[in-house]
Amino acid sequence: MEWPQSSVISMCLLLLAACGGGSSSPDISKPSTAASDVEVPSWSLPPDPMSLAREAGLMPDTKEYLTYHVHAHLDVFVNGHRVEIPAGIGIEITDPAVERFGSGYGGIPEEGCEQPCISPLHTHDPDGVIHIEAPSEARFTLGQFFVELAIRLDASCVDEFCTPDVPVAVFVDGQRQSGDPADIVLRDSQEIAIVIGTPPEEIPDSFSGG
């Protein structure tokens, strides 16, 4: 028995309607946030590092102290790509007593600089190692370091990346953190990972020291 062509077309339309049609279904391949649109930032060495150190509540000095000498490590990822942490954060690299070695800064002689030239919280190389070199043990935080970076860090935003528009997650030694990441106290051999947007294949969970 042959069905009239008009009946076949009507039946097909009814079946499509019963299944909800085709074009109205959501495209699950599209990202649910604007995370895929963000670009990896290039953080540069900010000017006037001694003023930024004081703004962070730190006391710059004319030389490094090794009485309290520890290292933490910071990784920042944007859509799986690593953001380079600049060398020379917390150091007045224009001071003649500060030496440059390769891509790093330091080597201040024992007699020190004529003026305060280094914060107790600083970086020597662009490797993410945060150096704490202070005359006595004290409390240093990730927020203080970001003040020296001149980059925003709080419970909502890292730099220009803010939730809920872009996912932001913070990990310490592989453990997801809640609250304001600026309050994280820096400790020896600590691994801090800030993950913005799509995470990398592997989130670092350890640091052997620098």
∠ CA 43-187-111, rounded to 5°: 75
All residue ranges of the chain with pLDDT < 50 are: 1-33
Backbone dihedral angles phi then psi of residue 75, each to the nearest 5 degrees: -115, 135
∠ CA 94-100-102, rounded to 5°: 140
Neighbours of 99 (CB within 10 A): 13
pLDDT tens by residue, 78-108:
999 999 999 999 999 999 999 999 999 999 9
Indicate the helix (H) or strand (E) that contains 191. strand 190-196
Q: Which amino acid is at 38?
A: V
Tokens of 100: 């440059």
What residues form DSSP beta bridges with 90?
Answer: none
What is the pLDDT, as a whole number, of residue 38? 74
What is the pLDDT, as a whole number, of residue 210? 63
What is the pLDDT, as a whole number, of residue 35? 57
Q: How far apart are CA 166 and CA 196, in angstroms?
A: 7
Residue 75, helix vs strand vs coil? strand
pLDDT tens by residue, 149-176:
999 999 999 999 999 999 999 999 999 9
Distance from chain centroid for Cα 178:
15
What is the pLDDT, as a whole number, of residue 20? 39
Locate the domains of the chain by residue range.
Answer: 43-196
What is the pLDDT, as a whole number, of residue 131? 98
Question: What's this model's pTM, rounded to 2 decimal places?
Answer: 0.82
